[in-house]
Amino acid sequence: MAEQQPAAPVDPYIPAEQTLPEITIKAVILGIFLSVLLSGANAYLGLKAGMTVSASIPAAVISMAILRMFRRSNILENNIVQTAASAGESLAAGVIFTMPALVLLRAWTDFGYWQTTIIAGLGGMIGVLFTIPLRRALVVESPLKFPEGVATAEVLKVGDEGGGGIKSILVGAGVGAVFKFAESGLRLLSGVVEGGRQVGNSIAYAGTNASPALVAVGYIVGLNIAVLVFLGGAINWYAAIPMVAAQQEWPVYVDAATATNPEAWNVFTAEVGSAELGQAVSADDWANRIWSKRTRYLGVGAMLVGGLWALVRLWGSLVRGIRAGLAGYRDARAGGGAAIPRTERDTPMQWVGFALVASVLPLFFVFNHVTGNTGVSVFMAVVMLIAGFLFSAVASYMAGLVGSSNNPISGVTIATILAISLILLVLLGSQINFAVDAT
């Protein structure tokens, strides 16, 4: 099996031999503040609109503006601040896309503060720990573009250098802001252009999302990745959805009170007396329902297999990263840690292992509290570690491919739930009650 070709070496903006203050008091305080602020904003946006955006660039801009008030500040402090804010935003996204399901399924009656905090905090810590051995494989030795990371780095460098570079960023931001204001503020433009028609018993549909942010991501990732993303959408909307529609009767709106199965994926309900009752569903709505309930899972499966295959191809880099971490720990104990360049220092693997154990043990007790079964709790903790590493790798790979804001978190979540549910059903089906109270 041929290994993936590594990316070309890049000279760091701050030379490896230069040491600047990074984790300072002001950086930590500002990072916590922006993390709380942007996490709350993203949690609201995610619950309202079903999507979140990366906090890296807004945090970098706000951080630069605030840290410039201090006499001594540098780009590495700015980077620490935006990293803290981005991590908080990502954790909020993980919470809002998973934990509401526990209330909807009546497993929880409300969101207990400490229970939610413990699960989210420890889960987030495990995810961060898994990225340490993945850094070398996915960032250093992989040709992934990391479009949002590149954009954030450019913002930080321009803020540090000043000069003409800021003009280009401001022009791009201005164009995006004008378009977004005309779309969402003045309602002069539509962010989505779509249209569909019934063709026989199938659908002919075309549409696009006119987003400056997506145009910018395409500009950063390049033609190859942009074409692949387009092909995924084209195969789904121009082939898979028409094929599924052709196998179904064209739906009509039925009375919600008398429908035999109102929760079925191909049933559209209306209130009694509604003008829509008995009318055929529009082609646009039918196409979007098929995508939401059926064909999007094709993308989930393809993303899962592609991400895991990329992990297999990067296995050599991953092993080298783990070995480098172990070597760093041994060098540090022998007093030779100073010889390692600043840009090559990772948290020693032994420390990562200790931190993983410290994070998993409390989660084991949470599992045991919920299930009341020690054997099941041990099994769930082991499965969580294995699945957590694999899906952390997939999510990291997708972030490097299409960016953090376009990272299909819902797809990773669905893949995780399906995989773990299948394992539990096969191995522990006789010990667990999978029934859900639907009353």
**pLDDT at 428 exceeding the cut of 70:** no
DSSP assignment of 124-190 equals: HHHHHHHHHHHHIIIIISS----HHHHHHHHHHHHHHH-TTHHHHHHHHHHHHHHHHIIIIIS--S-
**pLDDT at 243 exceeding the cut of 90:** yes
DSSP assignment of 30-95 equals: HHHHHHHHHHHHHHHHHHHHS----SHHHHHHHHHHHHTTSSS--HHHHHHHHHHHHHHHHHHHHH
Provide, rounded to the nearest whole percent, the portion of the chain with pLDDT above 90: 5
Nearest to 204 by CA among 169, 153, 162, 239: 239
The whole-number pLDDT of residue 439 equals 43
Q: Which two tokens stand for residue 130?
A: 């898994």
Tell me phi and psi for residue 202, to 5 degrees: -115, -170
pLDDT band of 330, cuts 50, 70, 90: low
pLDDT band of 290, cuts 50, 70, 90: very high
Nearest to 152 by CA among 27, 269, 61, 216: 61
Residues 6+ apart with CB under 8 A from 7: 140, 141, 142, 143, 144
Strand partners, 253: 268
The whole-number pLDDT of residue 438 equals 43
pLDDT band of 172, cuts 50, 70, 90: confident
Least confident of 17-21, 47-51, 136-140: 47-51
Q: Which two tokens stand for residue 304?
A: 């899962």
Nearest to 390 by CA among 315, 320, 327, 298: 315
**pLDDT at 336 exceeding the cut of 60:** no
At 319, which amino acid appears? V
The whole-number pLDDT of residue 241 equals 92
pLDDT band of 321, cuts 50, 70, 90: low
Residues 6+ apart with CB under 8 A from 327: none
Provide, rounded to the nearest whole percent, the portion of the chain with pLDDT above 70: 82
Mean pLDDT of 63-86: 86
Instruction: Quickly count helices (H) and strands (E) in the chain.
Output: 16, 4
Mean residue pLDDT of the chain comes to 78
Rounded Cα–Cα distance for residues 206 and 193 (Å): 8
Residues 6+ apart with CB under 8 A from 318: 133, 134, 136, 137, 311
Rounded Cα–Cα distance for residues 58 and 78 (Å): 12
The whole-number pLDDT of residue 143 equals 75
Per residue in 2-44, pLDDT tens?
A: 445 555 566 777 877 778 888 899 999 999 999 998 888 878 7
| CA 169 to mean position of chain CA atoms | 25
The whole-number pLDDT of residue 338 equals 54
Tell me the pairing of strands 192-199 and 202-209. Answer: antiparallel
**pLDDT at 265 exceeding the cut of 80:** yes
The whole-number pLDDT of residue 240 equals 92
Mean pLDDT of 400-429: 73
The whole-number pLDDT of residue 434 equals 55
The whole-number pLDDT of residue 30 equals 92
Strand partners, 208: 193
Q: Which two tokens stand for residue 328?
A: 């760093």
Nearest to 232 by CA among 289, 290, 301, 283: 301
pLDDT band of 327, cuts 50, 70, 90: low
At 265, which amino acid appears? W
Residue 130 CB coordination number (10 Å): 20
Higher pLDDT, 384 or 143: 384
Cβ-count burial 133-157 (b if 16+ within 10 Å, e if not): bbbbbbbbbbebbbbbbebbbbbbe
Higher pLDDT, 81 or 215: 81
Q: Please tell me the total number of residues recorded for the chain in this structure.
A: 439
Strand partners, 268: 253
Highest mean pLDDT among 1-10, 257-266, 291-300, 409-418: 291-300
| CA distances to 24, 124, 136, 305 from 1, in Å | 45, 33, 20, 17
